[in-house]
Amino acid sequence: MVEDGAVDSSLDLSQYDDEQVRLMGEQCILLDENDRAIGAASKKHCHLMTSIDSGTLHRAFSVFLFNSRNELLLQQRADEKITFPACYTNTCCSHPLACASELEERGQMGVRRAAQRKLEHELGIKPEQVPLDAFTYLTRIHYLAASDGMWGEHEIDYILFIKADVDLSPNPNEVQSIKYVSMDELKHMIATADETGTKLTPWFKLIDENFLYKWWAQLDSLEGAADHETIHRLL
């Protein structure tokens, strides 16, 4: 366990949403650069640029959920979010917690459980609609990105694909809008993002630029696409 530093504990978060501040107390999994768990620290500590600049790195996941028409579900993050508010991103992006069930690395079970938990929390998707064994784990990326002068991300991010028709009931404290897009629609959305003022999360842009379309094109036969050994350094 890593104790939050003096700067963390004295930080005034009163300008932020109460629920999002509460979630900043969750314990994330600290890592070395080879994705070995080395401890735990609060979500707040992990996302402060002062911590990131000193090397703090944590585990995360990004879920890409496709319906039976092979359309990708996007979400726009709520304005209440402390990091990257109002940005469009992939279906669900979050962190496994430093608890026994989500620390389990065999078969990526901890990450899978965290993904199932957060799909329900953010989008109201029931666990039975997204079984743990229905997720395809593709690879990991290591990236760093600032949200503003205070907050940012420094993660080893597990990329999970899943194809399922699901019932949605978004949590407005997490998600302000959702939409399904085809591959062509997403390419147009990203190509015109600057002129339309559409904000995108940095991890979503990195995955889009480096991996997404080749995986999407073989969505029904992903067995040969997975690379479980490499941590792609997109820094």
Q: What is the pLDDT of residues 106-128, one digit of tens each?
A: 999 999 999 999 999 999 999 99
Q: What is the DSSP letter of 19?
A: H
User: What is the per-residue pLDDT for 148?
Assistant: 87
User: Strand 92-94 and strand 58-66: pairing?
Assistant: antiparallel
| Alpha-carbon span 133 to 140, nearest angstrom | 18
| Alpha-carbon span 162 to 66, nearest angstrom | 6
The catalytic position among 46, 87, 92, 93 is 93
| Alpha-carbon span 83 to 189, nearest angstrom | 22
Segment 69-100, tens digit of pLDDT: 999 999 999 999 999 999 999 999 999 999 99
For residue 152, which amino acid is it?
A: G
| Alpha-carbon span 50 to 207, nearest angstrom | 26
Q: Is 33 an active-site residue?
A: no
Of 161, 200, 154, 162, the residue nearest 59 (C-alpha)? 154
Structure tokens at 123: 């989008």
Q: What is the DSSP letter of 71?
A: P
| Alpha-carbon span 189 to 198, nearest angstrom | 8
Segment 139-150, tens digit of pLDDT: 999 999 999 889
Segment 160-204, tens digit of pLDDT: 999 999 999 999 999 999 999 999 999 999 999 999 999 999 999
The catalytic position among 102, 122, 153, 155 is 155
User: What is the per-residue pLDDT for 223?
Assistant: 84
User: What is the per-residue pLDDT for 9?
Assistant: 60
| Alpha-carbon span 22 to 117, nearest angstrom | 17
Q: What is the DSSP letter of 187?
A: H
Q: Is 99 an active-site residue?
A: no
What is the tally of helices (H) and strands (E) in the chain? 10, 10
Segment 32-77, tens digit of pLDDT: 999 999 999 999 999 999 999 999 999 999 999 999 999 999 999 9
